[in-house]
Amino acid sequence: MAFRSVILGAPASGKGTISSRIVKTFGLEHVASGDRLRINITKNTPIGKTAKKYIEEGLLVPDDLMVNFISEEIRQIKKNIWLLDGFPRTVSQAESLWRVQKLDVVLNLVVPYNIIVDRVKGRWIHLPSGRVYNTDFNAPKVPGKDDITGEDLVQRKDDSPEIVLKRLEQYEKMTRPVINFYKEKGILEEFAGNTSDEIWPKVKSVLLNYLSEVK
């Protein structure tokens, strides 16, 4: 059994939240490029040091660096059942990935921009796991603490209003064309909604055509 997929969507469109529900329901391996980069920044690794400069400005990390980084992460996955989140983000990344690995399905989350800009204000994350909370609609049980580990939550520097606008701009310019790349391959599935709770049942029903639930 093999299943290879990608989840696309603007910054803060709920990729992380939907991905964690997919993982819980279908038990596949989740590789989130942003989470992996942030872990490297925390550990101050060479790639972390380079990536930090771009991320804090709301710019994309260069393609060659990302392709090598994610290829290595994919190589380390033991099962052939996985979901990439945050990669690819440019047509050049999508082409590189397609050369080494054809995909079964690409999920695209479509959320209005005014909702996104509003949503990042209340967003808090647990760095080591990438778990995402929102003080407005998905608050942690204890303010500022991760539900599972009890460790501190942080707000991302690049979630400040100015940088979010920059990220949305980059998304339009660099990532929007990736949607068409996959549409032309005939593997794109789109899901529109204002909240993850609204989007999730639609995603689940599409994935049930490919995978079975873990429990």
Taking alpha carbons only, the member of 168, 65, 153 closest to residue 119 is 168
Q: Which is nearer to ligand ATP, 173 or 214 (CB)?
A: 173
Smaller CB distance to Mg ion: residue 34 or 140? 34
**Which is nearer to ligand ATP, 194 or 212 (by Cβ)?**
194
> Could you say whether residue 12 binds ligand ATP (CB under 6 A)?
yes
Q: Which of 190, 21, 33, 10 is CA-nearest to residue 116?
A: 10
Q: Is 33 in the site for ligand ATP (CB under 6 A)?
A: yes
Quick check: is 215 catalytic? no
Q: How many CB atoms lie within 10 A of CB 78?
A: 7
Residue 34 engages Mg ion in binding (rule: CB under 5 A): yes
Binding-site member from 31, 37, 83, 94 for ligand ATP (CB under 6 A): 37
Q: Which residues contact 9 (CB under 8 A, 6 or more apart)?
A: 15, 108, 109, 110, 111
Q: What is the CA radius of gyration of the chain?
A: 16
Q: What is the C-alpha to C-alpha distance for residues 125 and 113, in angstroms, rounded to an integer?
A: 21
Please state the closest distance from residue 215 (CB atom) to ligand ATP, in A.
Answer: 27
**Residue 55 near residue 49 (C-beta atoms within 8 A):** no
89 is a site residue for ligand ATP (CB under 6 A):
yes
Q: Which of 54, 98, 113, 181 binds ligand ATP (CB under 6 A)?
A: 54
Say which of 15, 52, 119, 131 is annotated catalytic.
Answer: 15
Q: Which does 193 bind (CB under 5 to 8 A by kind): Mg ion, ligand ATP, none?
A: none
Least separation in angstroms between residue 55's CB and ligand ATP is 4
How many CB atoms are located within 10 Å of the residue 100 CB?
10
Of residues 167 through 206, those in contact with ligand ATP by CB under 6 A are 167
Q: Does 75 participate in catalysis according to the annotation?
A: no
Assess contact for 146 and 127: CB atoms under 8 A: no
Among 26, 52, 86, 207, binds ligand ATP (CB under 6 A): 86
Binding residue for ligand ATP (CB under 6 A) from 34, 107, 126, 203? 34
Tokens for 187, please give them: 């593997």
Q: Are strands 123-126 and 131-134 parallel, antiparallel or unpaired?
A: antiparallel
12 binds, among ligand ATP, Mg ion, none (CB under 5 to 8 A by kind): ligand ATP
Alpha-carbon span 80 to 66, nearest angstrom: 21
Examine residue 88 and tell whether it contacts Mg ion (CB under 5 A).
no
Active-site annotation, residues: 15, 89, 123, 156, 167
